[in-house]
Amino acid sequence: MVETLYPYTVSNEKVIEQIVKDDAAMINHVILTKGERLPEHYSDSNVFLILIRGTITARFNDQERHTYSKQILNVPAQTLMNISNEGDEILEFFIVKAPHPRIYNKKA
């Protein structure tokens, strides 16, 4: 087999798990129930948020809050991110950091 399989959790409960830890990319999987949020933090690489279900409420740097669903968001490195689920549905998304932050930070 030349391919690599990366299983991830299927749930309606809160999940924050790291799926891939490769130099080319780090991929995390997140499920948030209504009212849950990620800690506010700065992106440590180029970030792609791949929205699978629900609606994400996000504020980047000092911009106003926006909501997104079933889209892919690209967030530049060193951006202050505030992400939450303010909707009624389960929020599920993948976070792709490319390259892996340890590689990005070596270049910086």
**Is pLDDT at 39 greater than 70 in this prediction?**
yes
State the Cα–Cα distance between residues 83 and 27, nearest whole angstrom.
17
pTM of the model: 0.93
Question: Strands 26-32, 41-42: parallel, antiparallel or unpaired by DSSP?
Answer: unpaired
**Is pLDDT at 105 greater than 80 in this prediction?**
no
The ranges assigned to domains in the chain are 15-107
Instruction: Work out the angle at residue 37's Cα, subtended by the Cα atoms of residues 67 and 71, and round it to the nearest 5 degrees.
Output: 35
| CB 93, CB 30: distance < 8 Å | yes
Please compute the mean of the pLDDT values over residues 61-73 and round it to a whole number: 97
State the Cα–Cα distance between residues 53 and 86, nearest whole angstrom.
13
> What confidence tier does 108 reach under pLDDT thresholds 50, 70, 90?
low
Q: Tell me whether residue 93 is exposed, middle or buried, using C-beta atoms within 10 angstroms of its C-beta: 0 to 12, 13 to 18, 19 or more.
A: buried
- For 34, the token pair is 């209504």
Architecture in CATH of 15-107: Sandwich (2.60)
Instruction: Name the percent of the chain lying above pLDDT 90.
Output: 88
**Is pLDDT at 23 greater than 70 in this prediction?**
yes
